[in-house]
Structure 1
Amino acid sequence: MSDKINLLVIDDDDINIFIIKKIVEKTGYEAQMVAKTNGQLAIDYLKELKDARLPFPQLILIDINMPVLNGWEFLEAYEKLSIENDIDMYMLSSSVYENDIEKAKTYKTVKGFISKPLSIERLIELFEGKNIEPIQS
């Protein structure tokens, strides 16, 4: 049972990152959130963790439309990293296109598709799925 969650958010919108950070704080869970503004920065970050043998995020939230490396390209690059850890990944997008939702299902690493905005309740569900305990007050 882990008592802290490592969360990686990949989103090019500073406002979305700020909102997710505030939502994390309101869940009552202890979480370390790292944000990367495109898929390439996220891949570089994961490579650094792998090379340094540091803990990987347990949960990754991925926006679809981003510069440099979009969400789909991130997933393609991620699969080439051969990371053995069990990381729950969710596409977090404002896209309402059914083909994006269907495409998310084709990746074995993607557990689901969440439409923006992310809610506190939905994030708590994700944390509970990783067996994270809320902070005792």
Structure 2
Amino acid sequence: MKAEFSFIIIDDSELDCFVTKKFLERTNKNFVIEIFNNAEHALDTIGKNHSLEGDLPTIILLDLQMPRMNGFKFVEEFEKLSPEIQKNYIIIILTVLSPSRDPKDLYGIFTYRKINSIVEKPLTKDKLNSLLNEVRMGSIK
């Protein structure tokens, strides 16, 4: 059976990756999920035109605050990939939104054309269902 959705989780926190993956698995057994704790490794894999199963694009759940290559730098490099590769992916920022976060960070997110949405951690069933409905309806591309 083909997966309806595939996900790539990019987060340096092994705990956040574990929790997000377990949540996705419990929500739907047909999700294909791949985890990267290093954004550079994820970018290399994606750059080789790596895509997971499914008819819809792979959803990248991307953390912003990571060492070596943060989420912003990942998106900058991702946008340099060929359009044929880019069309296979939807980038969703999955991050903690807190009053202490610099508002320039949030404004900066929307300067990237490939960032489709921001979802606050932790991912919940309502947030996930809303996101997947938007992808199915084509309002997130």
Place the TM-score, normalised by the shorter chain, in its bin: 0.7 to 0.9
2:108 to 84, 103, 121: 103
**Number of paired residues?**
127
**Would you say the 8 A contact 2:63–2:93 is kept in 1?**
yes
2:51 corresponds in structure 1 to 55
**Would you say the 8 A contact 1:26–1:120 is kept in 2?**
no
1:126 corresponds in structure 2 to 131
CA distance, structure 2, for counterparts of residue 116 and residue 123 of structure 1: 11
Identity %: 28
- Where in structure 1 do 4 or more consecutive aligned residues deviate above 6 Å? none
Deviation at 1:129, TM superposition (A): 2.5
1:92 corresponds in structure 2 to 94
TM-score by length of 1: 0.81
What does the per-residue CA deviation read over 1:37-63, in whole Å, with 9 as the maximum and x for residues that have no partner? Answer: 121011111022x1xxx5355211110
Equivalent residues in 2 for 1:15-94, closer than 5 Å = 15-28=15-28, 30-48=30-48, 50=49, 54-55=50-51, 58-84=58-84, 85-94=87-96
2:122 corresponds in structure 1 to 117
Moved more, 76-85 or 102-111: 76-85
CA distance, structure 2, for counterparts of residue 83 and residue 39 of structure 1: 20
CA distance, structure 2, for counterparts of residue 120 and residue 41 of structure 1: 29
**Would you say the 8 A contact 2:51–2:88 is kept in 1?**
no
CA distance, structure 2, for counterparts of residue 120 and residue 36 of structure 1: 22
CA distance, structure 1, for counterparts of residue 29 and residue 130 of structure 2: 11
TM-score by length of 2: 0.79
AA partner of residue 114 (structure 1): V
Moved more, 82-91 or 107-116: 82-91
AA partner of residue 51 (structure 2): P
C-alpha change, 1:39 and 1:45, in structure 2 (3 Å) is same
**Would you say the 8 A contact 1:60–1:87 is kept in 2?**
yes
What SS class does the counterpart of residue 24 from structure 1 fall into?
Answer: helix
Residue ranges of structure 2 left out of the alignment (5+ in a row):
none
CA distance, structure 1, for counterparts of residue 122 and residue 44 of structure 2: 26
What SS class does the counterpart of residue 77 from structure 1 fall into?
Answer: helix
What SS class does the counterpart of residue 66 from structure 1 fall into?
Answer: coil
**Would you say the 8 A contact 1:104–1:110 is kept in 2?**
yes
